[in-house]
Chain A
Amino acid sequence: MHEMGIAQQLVQIAMDSIPGDIENPRVEILNLRIGKLASVVEHSLTFCIEIITRDTPLENVRLVIDFVPVRIHCKSCQKEWEVDTPMFKCPDCREREGGGEVELISGREIEIISMELAE
Chain B
Amino acid sequence: MEINIQKQVLEKNETEADKNRAYFKENNVFVLNLMSSPGSGKTEILCRTLVRLMPEIKVGVIVGDICTNNDADRLKVTNARVTQINTDQFGGDCHLAAHLIDASARQLGCGDLDLLIVENIGNLVCPAEFDIGEDARAVVLSVTEGEDKPLKYPLMFQVSDVAVLNKIDLLPYLDFDAGLVKDNMKKVHPGMPIFEVSAKTQEGLEPWLEWLLERVNKKKQKN
Q: What are the residues of chain B within 8 A of A86 when measuring CB–CB?
A: 150-151, 154, 158, 187-188
Residues of chain B in range 89-137 having any CB-CB distance to chain A below 8 Å: 91, 93-95, 97, 123, 125-126, 128-130
Do A110 and B9 have beta carbons less than 8 Å apart? yes
Q: Which of A19, A37, A38 makes the CB contact (< 8 A) with B3?
A: A19
Docked Cα-Cα span, A86 to B154, in Å, equals 6
Q: Report how far A45 CA is from B91 CA in the complex, Å.
A: 16
A115 and B3: CB pair below 8 A? yes
Query: What interface size band does chain A fall in?
Result: 35 or more
Least CB separation from A1: chain B residue: B94
Find out whether the CB atom of B2 lies under 8 angstroms from the CB atom of A116: yes
- With a cutoff of 8 Å between Cβ atoms, the chain A residues found around residue B97 in the complex are 5
- Given contacts A2-B94, A17-B5, whether A39 and B155 have CB atoms under 8 Å apart is yes
The residue of chain B having its C-beta at the shortest distance from the C-beta of A22 within the complex is: B1
- Chain A residue nearest in CB terms to B124: A39
Residues of chain B lying within 8 A (CB to CB) of residue A14: 5
Residues of B within 8 A of A85 (CB): 151
> In the complex, are the beta carbons of A110 and B155 less than 8 A apart?
no
Q: Does A111 contact B (CB under 8 A)?
A: yes
Minimum Cβ distance to chain B for residue A8 (Å): 9
CB pair A114 B189 closer than 8 Å: no
A98 to chain B: closest residue by CB = B191
- Whether B190 pairs with A88 at a CB distance below 8 angstroms is yes
- B150 to chain A: closest residue by CB: A86
B125: chain A residues at CB < 8 Å are 1-2, 39
Cβ-based interface call for A117 (8 A): yes
B8 within 8 A of A: yes
The residues in A between 64 and 101 inclusive whose CB is less than 8 angstroms from any CB of B are 85-89, 94, 100-101
Does B77 make an interface contact (CB < 8 A)?
Answer: no
A5-21: which residues lie under 8 A (CB-CB) from chain B? 5-6, 9-10, 13-14, 17-19
Q: Specify the chain B residue showing the minimal Cβ separation from A3.
A: B126
Q: Which residue of B lies closest to A89 (CB)?
A: B190
A-side contacts of B188, CB under 8 Å: 86-88
* Distance in angstroms between the alpha carbons of A84 and B191 in the assembled complex: 21
Tell me if A51 is interfacial: C-beta within 8 Å of chain B: no
Q: Verify A112–B94 contact, CB threshold 8 A.
A: no
* Interface pair B3/A13, CB less than 8 Å apart: no
The answer to whether the Cβ of B10 comes within 8 Å of any Cβ in the partner chain is yes
**A88 touching B187, Cβ below 8 Å:** yes
Given contacts A89-B187, A112-B7, whether A37 and B1 have CB atoms under 8 Å apart is no
| Known A88-B187, A114-B6; 8 more pairs at CB < 8 Å | A37-B154, A38-B155, A39-B155, A111-B6, A113-B5, A113-B6, A117-B2, A117-B3
Can you identify 11 A-B contacts, CB atoms within 8 angstroms? A1-B94, A2-B125, A4-B91, A18-B3, A85-B151, A88-B158, A104-B158, A109-B8, A112-B5, A112-B7, A112-B9
Interface residues of B (CB under 8 A from A): 1-10, 12-13, 91, 93-95, 97, 123, 125-126, 128-130, 150-151, 154-155, 158, 186-191
